[in-house]
Amino acid sequence: MADEHAKPADRAADADRRDYARSEHVRGAALDRLADLRRDANAAYAAIAAADAALESLAGQRVAGERVLRGALARYQAASRALAAHARAKPGRVAQLLSGFRAGREWLARQTDLSAAVREASEPLTAARRTVSAVKSEFAAQVRVRAEAVTALRRLMAECGTVLAEVELEKARLQETSRGEGSGADMPWANQRL
Protein backbone atom coordinates (compact mmCIF):
# COMPACT_ATOMS: atom_id res chain seq x y z
CA MET A 1 0.00 0.00 0.00
CA ALA A 2 2.95 2.32 0.63
CA ASP A 3 3.83 2.14 -3.10
CA GLU A 4 0.33 3.21 -4.06
CA HIS A 5 0.66 6.36 -1.96
CA ALA A 6 4.23 7.15 -3.06
CA LYS A 7 4.80 10.22 -5.12
CA PRO A 8 5.21 9.70 -8.86
CA ALA A 9 8.78 11.07 -8.65
CA ASP A 10 9.63 8.50 -5.99
CA ARG A 11 8.13 5.70 -8.06
CA ALA A 12 10.15 6.86 -11.08
CA ALA A 13 13.34 7.00 -9.00
CA ASP A 14 12.65 3.46 -7.71
CA ALA A 15 12.09 2.26 -11.29
CA ASP A 16 15.34 3.93 -12.35
CA ARG A 17 17.18 2.25 -9.49
CA ARG A 18 15.76 -1.12 -10.49
CA ASP A 19 16.70 -0.53 -14.14
CA TYR A 20 20.18 0.52 -13.07
CA ALA A 21 20.58 -2.55 -10.87
CA ARG A 22 19.31 -4.82 -13.65
CA SER A 23 21.69 -3.21 -16.15
CA GLU A 24 24.60 -3.61 -13.72
CA HIS A 25 23.69 -7.26 -13.24
CA VAL A 26 23.41 -7.87 -17.00
CA ARG A 27 26.68 -6.04 -17.62
CA GLY A 28 28.46 -7.99 -14.86
CA ALA A 29 27.19 -11.30 -16.23
CA ALA A 30 28.28 -10.28 -19.71
CA LEU A 31 31.76 -9.36 -18.44
CA ASP A 32 32.01 -12.74 -16.67
CA ARG A 33 30.94 -14.47 -19.90
CA LEU A 34 33.50 -12.42 -21.82
CA ALA A 35 36.26 -13.53 -19.45
CA ASP A 36 35.21 -17.17 -19.97
CA LEU A 37 35.14 -16.71 -23.75
CA ARG A 38 38.58 -15.12 -23.74
CA ARG A 39 39.96 -17.99 -21.65
CA ASP A 40 38.46 -20.51 -24.08
CA ALA A 41 39.79 -18.50 -27.05
CA ASN A 42 43.26 -18.56 -25.52
CA ALA A 43 42.97 -22.34 -25.11
CA ALA A 44 41.88 -22.68 -28.76
CA TYR A 45 44.78 -20.49 -29.87
CA ALA A 46 47.18 -22.63 -27.81
CA ALA A 47 45.72 -25.75 -29.47
CA ILE A 48 46.35 -24.20 -32.89
CA ALA A 49 49.93 -23.37 -31.96
CA ALA A 50 50.49 -26.90 -30.62
CA ALA A 51 49.00 -28.42 -33.77
CA ASP A 52 51.22 -26.19 -35.93
CA ALA A 53 54.30 -27.34 -34.01
CA ALA A 54 53.22 -30.98 -34.33
CA LEU A 55 52.56 -30.54 -38.05
CA GLU A 56 55.99 -29.04 -38.57
CA SER A 57 57.62 -31.94 -36.74
CA LEU A 58 55.52 -34.50 -38.61
CA ALA A 59 56.40 -32.89 -41.95
CA GLY A 60 60.07 -33.38 -41.14
CA GLN A 61 59.43 -36.98 -40.09
CA ARG A 62 57.51 -37.59 -43.30
CA VAL A 63 60.36 -36.26 -45.46
CA ALA A 64 62.87 -38.43 -43.59
CA GLY A 65 60.56 -41.45 -43.74
CA GLU A 66 60.00 -41.04 -47.46
CA ARG A 67 63.77 -40.78 -48.00
CA VAL A 68 64.23 -44.08 -46.13
CA LEU A 69 61.31 -45.56 -48.07
CA ARG A 70 62.83 -44.58 -51.42
CA GLY A 71 66.15 -46.18 -50.42
CA ALA A 72 64.46 -49.37 -49.21
CA LEU A 73 62.34 -49.52 -52.35
CA ALA A 74 65.41 -49.10 -54.57
CA ARG A 75 67.18 -51.97 -52.75
CA TYR A 76 64.10 -54.17 -53.00
CA GLN A 77 63.64 -53.43 -56.71
CA ALA A 78 67.31 -54.12 -57.40
CA ALA A 79 67.11 -57.45 -55.57
CA SER A 80 63.89 -58.35 -57.41
CA ARG A 81 65.40 -57.48 -60.79
CA ALA A 82 68.48 -59.58 -60.00
CA LEU A 83 66.25 -62.52 -59.02
CA ALA A 84 64.16 -62.18 -62.19
CA ALA A 85 67.26 -61.92 -64.40
CA HIS A 86 68.78 -64.95 -62.70
CA ALA A 87 65.53 -66.92 -63.21
CA ARG A 88 65.69 -66.19 -66.94
CA ALA A 89 69.30 -67.39 -67.06
CA LYS A 90 68.53 -70.90 -65.81
CA PRO A 91 70.81 -73.37 -67.53
CA GLY A 92 69.16 -75.75 -69.94
CA ARG A 93 69.47 -79.56 -69.89
CA VAL A 94 72.39 -79.59 -72.27
CA ALA A 95 74.40 -77.12 -70.15
CA GLN A 96 73.66 -79.18 -67.06
CA LEU A 97 74.75 -82.43 -68.74
CA LEU A 98 77.92 -80.87 -70.07
CA SER A 99 78.85 -79.50 -66.62
CA GLY A 100 77.92 -82.64 -64.80
CA PHE A 101 74.92 -80.91 -63.25
CA ARG A 102 77.25 -78.40 -61.58
CA ALA A 103 75.62 -75.52 -63.53
CA GLY A 104 72.20 -76.51 -62.15
CA ARG A 105 73.51 -76.71 -58.56
CA GLU A 106 75.28 -73.36 -58.87
CA TRP A 107 72.18 -71.79 -60.39
CA LEU A 108 69.99 -73.16 -57.60
CA ALA A 109 72.39 -71.93 -54.88
CA ARG A 110 72.48 -68.47 -56.46
CA GLN A 111 68.66 -68.53 -56.81
CA THR A 112 68.36 -69.29 -53.09
CA ASP A 113 70.75 -66.44 -52.22
CA LEU A 114 68.85 -63.98 -54.42
CA SER A 115 65.48 -65.06 -52.96
CA ALA A 116 66.88 -64.48 -49.47
CA ALA A 117 68.14 -61.04 -50.57
CA VAL A 118 64.63 -60.15 -51.80
CA ARG A 119 63.12 -61.26 -48.48
CA GLU A 120 65.72 -59.25 -46.54
CA ALA A 121 65.08 -56.18 -48.69
CA SER A 122 61.33 -56.48 -48.18
CA GLU A 123 61.56 -56.17 -44.37
CA PRO A 124 62.96 -52.60 -44.27
CA LEU A 125 60.63 -51.67 -47.12
CA THR A 126 57.61 -52.87 -45.13
CA ALA A 127 58.85 -51.07 -42.00
CA ALA A 128 59.44 -47.84 -43.95
CA ARG A 129 55.96 -48.03 -45.49
CA ARG A 130 54.43 -48.52 -42.03
CA THR A 131 56.39 -45.57 -40.66
CA VAL A 132 55.37 -43.25 -43.50
CA SER A 133 51.77 -44.42 -43.23
CA ALA A 134 51.72 -43.76 -39.46
CA VAL A 135 53.22 -40.31 -39.95
CA LYS A 136 50.65 -39.50 -42.65
CA SER A 137 47.83 -40.65 -40.36
CA GLU A 138 49.13 -38.56 -37.47
CA PHE A 139 49.55 -35.60 -39.82
CA ALA A 140 45.93 -35.93 -40.95
CA ALA A 141 44.80 -36.17 -37.32
CA GLN A 142 46.72 -32.99 -36.42
CA VAL A 143 45.21 -31.20 -39.43
CA ARG A 144 41.75 -32.14 -38.11
CA VAL A 145 42.65 -30.99 -34.59
CA ARG A 146 43.93 -27.69 -35.96
CA ALA A 147 40.83 -27.19 -38.13
CA GLU A 148 38.56 -27.84 -35.14
CA ALA A 149 40.56 -25.37 -33.02
CA VAL A 150 40.39 -22.73 -35.76
CA THR A 151 36.62 -23.22 -36.04
CA ALA A 152 36.27 -22.95 -32.26
CA LEU A 153 38.45 -19.83 -32.18
CA ARG A 154 36.36 -18.15 -34.89
CA ARG A 155 33.15 -19.01 -33.04
CA LEU A 156 34.58 -17.75 -29.75
CA MET A 157 35.77 -14.51 -31.34
CA ALA A 158 32.30 -13.96 -32.82
CA GLU A 159 30.75 -14.59 -29.40
CA CYS A 160 33.24 -12.16 -27.83
CA GLY A 161 32.11 -9.53 -30.33
CA THR A 162 28.48 -10.18 -29.44
CA VAL A 163 29.18 -9.97 -25.70
CA LEU A 164 31.23 -6.80 -26.13
CA ALA A 165 28.33 -5.24 -28.03
CA GLU A 166 26.03 -6.28 -25.18
CA VAL A 167 28.40 -4.74 -22.62
CA GLU A 168 28.52 -1.49 -24.62
CA LEU A 169 24.73 -1.46 -24.91
CA GLU A 170 24.32 -1.91 -21.16
CA LYS A 171 26.97 0.73 -20.52
CA ALA A 172 25.04 3.17 -22.71
CA ARG A 173 21.81 2.27 -20.89
CA LEU A 174 23.52 2.85 -17.55
CA GLN A 175 24.76 6.22 -18.70
CA GLU A 176 21.30 7.10 -19.97
CA THR A 177 19.74 5.99 -16.70
CA SER A 178 22.26 7.99 -14.68
CA ARG A 179 21.39 11.09 -16.71
CA GLY A 180 17.72 10.29 -16.18
CA GLU A 181 15.58 13.16 -15.17
CA GLY A 182 17.73 16.06 -14.20
CA SER A 183 21.46 16.06 -13.67
CA GLY A 184 21.59 12.90 -11.63
CA ALA A 185 22.06 14.81 -8.36
CA ASP A 186 18.82 13.26 -7.12
CA MET A 187 20.23 9.78 -7.93
CA PRO A 188 23.43 9.37 -5.89
CA TRP A 189 23.47 5.65 -6.61
CA ALA A 190 24.11 6.45 -10.28
CA ASN A 191 27.54 7.88 -9.62
CA GLN A 192 29.19 4.46 -9.54
CA ARG A 193 32.01 3.87 -11.94
CA LEU A 194 30.98 2.13 -15.15
Higher-confidence position of 109 and 22:
109
Contact of 135 with 61, CB cutoff 8 Å: yes
* The architecture CATH gives domain 10-182: Orthogonal Bundle (1.10)
State percent of the chain over pLDDT 90: 54
Output the pLDDT for position 177: 67
31-35, 80-84, 114-118, 131-135 — which is least confidently predicted? 31-35
Question: What residues have CB less than 8 Å from 41, skipping those under 6 apart?
Answer: 153, 156, 157, 160
- Give the pLDDT of residue 4: 56
- Average pLDDT of span 179-191: 48
Domain borders along the chain are 10-182
Contact 55, 142 (CB under 8 A): yes
